[in-house]
Each structure stands twice: as C-alpha cells, then as structure tokens.
C-alpha cells in the first residue's frame, strides 16, 4: 500500500474505534490528537492507539503490553501474536474496565 492508502485506512480505523467507544453503554472517555486515540477508563488506565506512518502500522499500548499491527488480508493483525485489532481491543478493554466490552466492527 502507498502512503495515501495507509493514511486513509488508518484514519478510518481510528474513527471507527472512536465511534465504537461512543456507542458503548459503559463510562469510557477518549481523547484524540493527530494520529493518536487514547481510550480512558474510570480507573485512569488507558489504551493508546496511534499511527506509525513511516512503517504503515497501527500501534496499540494497553496496561499489559504493546502491539504492532500490519494490514493483512483486509484487517489489522498483530505482528507477534497474530491477533486481530478489534479482538485485541475487546480483550484489553474488558480487562482494563473490569467488565465485558465489545466494541464491534464499525
């Protein structure tokens, strides 16, 4: 993929995550800055999702670990675990919030 395609795809993904957080029935907050999204939990832990444009990745930092996602077969895949982005976000958000979180796929 070229730089333009990467930026469009990564921005669309960050926006979809924002919209999924807004749609939840639990009390989460988020902040966005250029290329970065922070999901903030009531216990003040965070999940930080940001673009890594030079290498065409999305990076996710959770309370427990960091993850680097590459675009493969029309989805973002963690290059170490093979986990899909939305599945990782559901798992990490559930652990950090102490309740089941399903962000879905917007």
Neighbours of 43 (CB within 10 A): 10
Instruction: Answer whether 73's CB lies under 8 Å from 41's CB.
Output: no
What are the boundaries of each domain within the chain?
3-95
- Identify the CATH class of 3-95: alpha beta
Nearest to residue 1, comparing CAs of 38, 46, 56, 51? Answer: 56
Rounded average pLDDT over 76-87: 95
User: For residue range 15-60, what is the model confidence (pLDDT) as tens digits?
Assistant: 999 999 988 888 888 999 988 999 999 999 999 999 999 999 999 9
Query: The pTM is what?
Result: 0.90
Helix (H, G, I), strand (E, B) or coil at 79: coil
Q: Residue 106: its pLDDT value, please?
A: 47
Q: Using the predicted structure, report yes or no on whether residue 104 has a pLDDT greater than 80.
A: no
């Amino acid at each position: 993929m070229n730089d333009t395609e990467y930026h469009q795809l990564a921005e669309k993904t960050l926006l979809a995550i924002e919209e999924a957080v807004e749609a939840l029935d639990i009390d989460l907050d988020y902040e966005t800055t250029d290329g970065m999204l922070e999901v903030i939990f009531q216990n003040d832990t965070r999940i930080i999702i940001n673009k890594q444009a030079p290498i065409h990745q999305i990076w996710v930092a959770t309370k427990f670990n960091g993850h680097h996602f590459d675009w493969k077969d029309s989805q973002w895949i963690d290059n170490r675990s093979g986990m899909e982005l939305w599945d990782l976000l559901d798992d990490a958000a559930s652990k950090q919030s102490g309740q089941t979180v399903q962000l879905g796929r917007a």
